[in-house]
Amino acid sequence: MPSSAQAYMADVTDEHGRSAGMALMGAANGLGLVLGPAIAGAFALIGLIWPLYIGALLPVVAFVAVMLVVPKRKAVIHERPPRINPLKRGLRIYLLSGLAISLCIVSLQVVGGFYFQVQLLLTTQETARFVSFGLMICGFSMSATQGVLMKRSKLEPQSQILWGALLLVLSFLIMLFVAKLSMYYVAYFLFGVGAGLMMPGIMTGASFAVTSEQQGGIAGLVGMIQGIAAVVPPLLNTGLYQIDKHLPYGFAVALMIALSFALIRRRALPQKAREAAPAFSDNNS
């Protein structure tokens, strides 16, 4: 579903509206991060099984909405869909950025509860409330950031990713060096803003790096990257956490710093080199 939605958004927007369209999708993701825990918590008061019933109902609602609301578009059939090389210049930086941000998000979800419980000496119930509220703050800040991007952002995709990565570094540094509840909430807020900048930048930049016939393929690649991040990081982070509780977030900081340097280095390339590897052109094949 996310891959299809991204491909459809790329299909119905031009190069001027692409960034706003991808930010709209990101805002929807952030809103889901806010509403998901809230809805689940409300129905859990009726019974622990009720959130699962609601989860089963939501895809049905989505199906009906697509059938009734989303305008149909005539499909363009290609005998041989153009292949995409994920390692080609101008594209790989976005796929690597997508892997990095997905790894950081999963890190916050997988080991966050254990880490904050130990750091703040919380009970299990207190930890559940803290993490739920922190994720809601993260979702609100992510949605608000992408709402601003939809209306007035003039940042190019790589600039969005760079600023987002730096904000993620700051949020993780707070988590590592300040063991205070209020500052952890600040870290969640900064994380949401950073992710809100990075995710649309990644989707927009990847979309611009391929031709119109390759939009479905690039959406699938971005989805594959997110799938990989859902499998590998939980194993990696829990292993690092067993060695030292600070290691998962220290690794995330190192990853975001490395990504920032890669982006800065690419922006510093001579103009001739940039033209040889354009990152934002629909005509780049």
CATH number at residue 65: 1.20.1250.20
| Domain assignment of residue 90, given as a range | 2-270
Residue 283 confidence (pLDDT): 41
DSSP labels for 10-56? HHH--TTTHHHHHHHHHHHHHHHHHHHHHHHHHHHTT-TTHHHHHHH
Token representation of residue 109: 């979800």
What does pTM read for this prediction? 0.76
**Out of 86-90, 97-101, 239-243, least confident range:** 86-90
Residue 279 confidence (pLDDT): 41
Average pLDDT over residues 249-275: 79
Q: What's at 243, amino acid-wise?
A: I
283 assigned to some structural domain: no
282 assigned to some structural domain: no
Token representation of residue 154: 């003039």
Q: How confident is the model at residue 277 (pLDDT cuts 50, 70, 90)?
A: very low
Q: What is the rounded average pLDDT for all residues in the chain?
A: 79
How many CB atoms lie under 10 A from the CB of residue 181? 13
280 assigned to some structural domain: no
20 assigned to some structural domain: yes
88 assigned to some structural domain: yes
CA distances from 217 to 4, 82, 226 (A): 10, 8, 14
Q: How confident is the model at residue 221 (pLDDT cuts 50, 70, 90)?
A: confident
Q: How confident is the model at residue 229 (pLDDT cuts 50, 70, 90)?
A: confident
Q: How would you label 225-243 residue by residue, b for 16+ Cβ within 10 Å and e otherwise? A: bbeebeeebeebbeebbee
87 assigned to some structural domain: yes
**Cα angle for residues 137, 184, 141 (degrees, 5° grid):** 25
Domains of the chain: total: 1
284 assigned to some structural domain: no
156 assigned to some structural domain: yes
Residue 80 confidence (pLDDT): 62
